[in-house]
Structure 1
Amino acid sequence: MNAVGAMSLAVDFSGLGDINLETVIAAIALIGTVIVWLVDRYFLRRKRLVYRVQVDAPIGVFPSSHMVDVEVRYQGAVVPDPSIVLLRVDNAGGMDIEPHHMHEKVSFAFPDRKIVGLEVTEAKPEALGQMLQRQLDSENFIETSKLILPRTAINRGDSFKFLLVLSGRGDGVTHSGYLAGGSAGGGVYHEPRPRGPGRRTLMFGALSLLLVGALVALFVVDVLQPPDNCASGRLQIIGSTAVEPTMKELRSAYAAECTQADITIAANGSRSGTRALNETATRDPAAAGQLIAMSDGPAEDSPDLRGRSIAVVVFAVVLNRSTDVTALTVTQLRDIYAGRLTNWKQLGGRDLPIRMVSRVGPDSGSRRTFRDKVLAGDQELGISSDDCRTKDDPVAKHHRCEVGTTEELLSRLNDIEGAIGYAELGGSRKYPVVTVASIDGVVPDASKVADRSYRFWEVEHAYTYKAPGQDSLQEAFLDYLGSMQARPILARDGLVPCPELPSAFCG
């Protein structure tokens, strides 16, 4: 049996009462902190662009024969001393790579060989490969024996291959350039072969240690320190669709420990949610005590609504990758949404119509935030398309449609060439053919909210009808939203918990 083939674990908790529990918990916390730091430092928050040379071989006929005359031609010209290279590139890190992260040009060199032909193949997603191919075809990214990687967004898990035909008797591939920005920077790495058994053994051991530690921690927390914010009953979360995925995660995390809580999510738009809360209270105040309305920004004035600031939602302008555009200015965005710019080639992108996909208003909090923070109060143009793909109004010069939820908006952006829209940052990262645009040179990020260099954000409020009843599920879940336990979930989905920001942000 190999070193990792079996593991036996026996834990005797019979003498736990004789141990100083504070020491046990402190030790577990210390170990957990070290593990989290290591994972964060070396795996999760590093930007890693990994390349592997899958093929590097001369093209020829062996054994050679005077009876056979073989030549390789590319686009009609003979290629002397031909060879072929297949180069795979992966974003193997825990962070998306944005164009501005490539502070120094990332390039691959082929010493003593000249690049004759190049094709991007097997890209995931396909739109990334198509965009790279267009950039390589239209710009000067090839310098004799060097291939320069175009500055483009490469999301976590994205990959592609370069298939090159070269001329010359050299061999080998080298790289240069680096990645910067974000909280940890990153680099470009050569992975000559798949990870060996030694590394897998180390990873397995580390994972085993982490799982055992988590098991002990869960035992201590669950048995010795039961949660003190559990409540039973029914509760429905309505309102903002922008934070609907986050609320589902928070609901699941809370209900996993508080099993007597029945919490449902029925997102219907920020203003629709607060309006429904008011209307329910008029008919049945008791039923209103089982509702929480989430709102992107403050609700309309109502003397009976009570709001709590939960987190700052970072919004983003998002584009289908087919546009070949990754940066916009506020002026350009206003020109797009005023109908003055109608084709991406006017912004240096492809010859594609600009297809605006918007949220149905005025109940959408994200639409209201986009109008106030980006468009300076200007209203969006009228609808000219029902399906977001084809323009139904022959008179309109612009191309614009509306959809009911954030999820639907992102799905349309992911599927439709030339599409542009706005959504919360966390959800935008989950769609492979969608890229996040910088605004006036600033990429959406929590740190850019804190230093006020990024403007497209809003405070997420949780509203109730009057003050929640003491010991009610409504009160308990609101407390949970502001707790330390909820902060990692909020942060993972791109929200910034209010306690982590100066008081001026959340009020």
Structure 2
Amino acid sequence: MDFSGLGDINLETIIAFVALIGTAVAWLVDRYVLRRKRLVYRVQVDAPIGVYPSADKTQRMVDVEVRHQGAVVENPSIVLLRLDNAGGMDIDPQDMHEKVSFAFPDRTIVGLKVTEAQPKALGEMLQRRMVPANYVDTSKLVVPRIAINRGDHFKFLLVLSGTGRGVSHSGYLAGGSTGGGVYHEPRPRGPGRRTLTFGALSLLLVGALVALFLVDVLQPPDNCASGQVRIIGSTAVESTMREVRTAYAAECTDADITIAANGSRSGVRMLAETGARDAGAAANLIAMSDGTAEDAPDLWGEPVAVVVFAVAVNRSADVTGLTTAQLRDIYGGRVTNWKQLGGRDLPIRMVSRVGPDSGSRRVFRDKVLAGDPELGISSDDCRRDDPVARHHRCEVGTTEELLTRVNEIDGAIGYAELGSTRKFPEVTVASIDGVVPDAAKVADGSYRFWEIEHAYTHKAPEPGSLTAAFLDHLRSAQVRPVLARGGLVPCNDLPGGFCG
């Protein structure tokens, strides 16, 4: 085999290769480890309006006249500006410490439209909010303080007057474990051989590094056990428990683990009743509960993590923050339209969890409504109401159903654990009393809508059993990233004594 060609590799190539690896590593760390909040903008079009058949733009063969509100726009041009939440976290209204704005030197704005938004409701909200003069002045576009979830994007199409060119931005975006910012993404250049070569190499290196990163984070369980376990109880942590179960069973192939979430109190009650009837069968049950099992004090249990709950609002309401008093007025029937709270003229449609067996409902009642009960049901499907009802409220059985309804129905509001809300693009997580739900806000006591998640068994699990092994895995460092994705904070990551 001839290796003589290796001598042709020069220092520049080596430096470029090392820089490429460094860039890939930096991108991975920034995107998946540091968890920044990033708002990226790209100027997709910045051009004068007119038809120029030759390179000499002074020789116009066709003149285009642009009018705005009856007046001729002098030296018209258009700008198409795209903004993306390209970070690893949702952007909350409070993250915009200094308003994000875009300036157009030597040009004035004469027209504006929000186009191509994802999700659509985000674009509609922006279009409504861009009307007031405080968001558009003669030379600057100011982005309103709104919630921009991960993956959201939107475009501003502007008509301007003036001879200037170029776009600049200002403002400060904070948030995430290492802060955040507003970044400019240049327009991509045309593809070439070198671009394609380095692009392919980048993908190869990034793929390899992602694989290494995932191997490091998603480690196999410390111990495997065989047998059967059924996990019942809280629907708030159902999706997280499914992910933990799947990861465990993939490595421990003799483990048969099923998930049958039925509500916190229902799960605890089923565990207690099964234990009284058949202790052997109860040994294969784990009941997850939002809060302590007050109705079954003889069960064996331990705190696992803190569940951060959130108030979820459909984006159509155009409301991103509520006070505790306003929430009590909504659920007490005293406020029935979002217009009364500064939002759109839409009826408020409350989507709640069914009955007292829901841990989420109990936590919402105790920590937000100060013990007040919710109103009666006016609708079976959350859309069609009793014609004489003064309020709009329905009930559903699971967290997934609740968020699906809030995501689909204009003016809807509900409550659920924070991690699940991120999967629904039409849902805005509302701040409560000016505080956005976040693990750090729970730890410092400023956010109150949370509960400690407990894992209950009939008796202390037998050493070597699948029940004991799975609970050990649930407490382990390997599972922490999974809990974090689901909006849960492991008790070990909180100050001593926080979980009791």
Whether the TM-score (by the shorter chain) exceeds 0.5 is: yes
Q: Does 1:399 align with 2:389?
A: no
**1:94, 1:228 → 2: CA distance?**
29
Q: Does 1:102 align with 2:96?
A: yes
Q: The residue matched to 1:504 in structure 2 has which SS?
A: coil
Q: The residue matched to 1:137 in structure 2 has which SS?
A: coil
1:498 paired residue among 488, 491, 499? 491
How far 1:213 sits from its partner (Å)? 4.3
**Count of aligned pairs between the two proteins:** 467
**1:435, 1:278 → 2: CA distance?**
38
Alpha carbons of structure 1 residues 158 and 473: separation in structure 2 relative to 1, 3 Å: same
**1:38, 1:78 → 2: CA distance?**
47
Output the amino acid matched with 1:422.
Answer: Y
Where does structure 1 lack aligned partners over 5 or more consecutive residues?
A: 1-34
Alpha carbons of structure 1 residues 160 and 215: separation in structure 2 relative to 1, 3 Å: closer
2:430 paired residue among 434, 437, 456? 437
* 1:204 aligned partner: 203
**1:216, 1:476 → 2: CA distance?**
21
Task: Indicate the larger mover: 132-141 or 101-110.
Answer: 132-141
**1:241, 1:96 → 2: CA distance?**
23
Task: Indicate the larger mover: 177-186 or 146-155.
Answer: 177-186
Q: Does 1:77 align with 2:40?
A: no
**1:399, 1:216 → 2: CA distance?**
49
Contact 2:350 / 2:392 at 8 angstroms: preserved in 1?
yes
Alpha carbons of structure 1 residues 42 and 382: separation in structure 2 relative to 1, 3 Å: closer
Instruction: Please list, as runs of the form range in 1=range in 2, the aligned pairs for 1:262-281 lying within 5 A after superposition.
Output: 262-281=256-275
* 1:18 aligned partner: none
Instruction: Please list, as runs of the form range in 1=range in 2, the aligned pairs for 1:44-55 lying within 5 A after superposition.
Output: 45-55=35-45
Alpha carbons of structure 1 residues 62 and 41: separation in structure 2 relative to 1, 3 Å: closer
Q: So what's the TM-score if we normalise by structure 2?
A: 0.88
**2:394, 2:81 → 1: CA distance?**
41
* 1:380 aligned partner: 374
How far 1:208 sits from its partner (Å)? 4.8
Task: Indicate the larger mover: 354-363 or 199-208.
Answer: 199-208
Contact 1:386 / 1:392 at 8 angstroms: preserved in 2?
no
* 1:448 aligned partner: 441
* Percent identity for Structure 1 against Structure 2: 73
Task: Indicate the larger mover: 86-95 or 402-411.
Answer: 86-95
**1:303, 1:410 → 2: CA distance?**
32
* 1:56 aligned partner: 46
* 2:9 aligned partner: none
How far 1:204 sits from its partner (Å)? 3.1
Q: The residue matched to 2:248 in structure 1 has which SS?
A: helix
Instruction: Please list, as runs of the form range in 1=range in 2, the aligned pairs for 1:452-467 lying within 5 A after superposition.
Output: 452-467=445-460
**2:211, 2:479 → 1: CA distance?**
23
* 1:27 aligned partner: none
After superposition, give the CA deviation of every residue in 1:244-295 in whole Å (9 maximum; x if it has no partner): 0000011011111111000010101001111111222233221111111110
How far 1:502 sits from its partner (Å)? 2.6
**1:216, 1:407 → 2: CA distance?**
30
Output the amino acid matched with 1:210.
Answer: L
* 1:31 aligned partner: none
Alpha carbons of structure 1 residues 343 and 215: separation in structure 2 relative to 1, 3 Å: closer
* 1:39 aligned partner: 28
How far 1:230 sits from its partner (Å)? 1.1
**1:340, 1:265 → 2: CA distance?**
40
How far 1:163 sits from its partner (Å)? 0.7
* 1:340 aligned partner: 334
Contact 1:385 / 1:393 at 8 angstroms: preserved in 2?
no
Q: So what's the TM-score if we normalise by structure 1?
A: 0.87
1:301 paired residue among 268, 283, 295? 295
How far 1:430 sits from its partner (Å)? 1.1
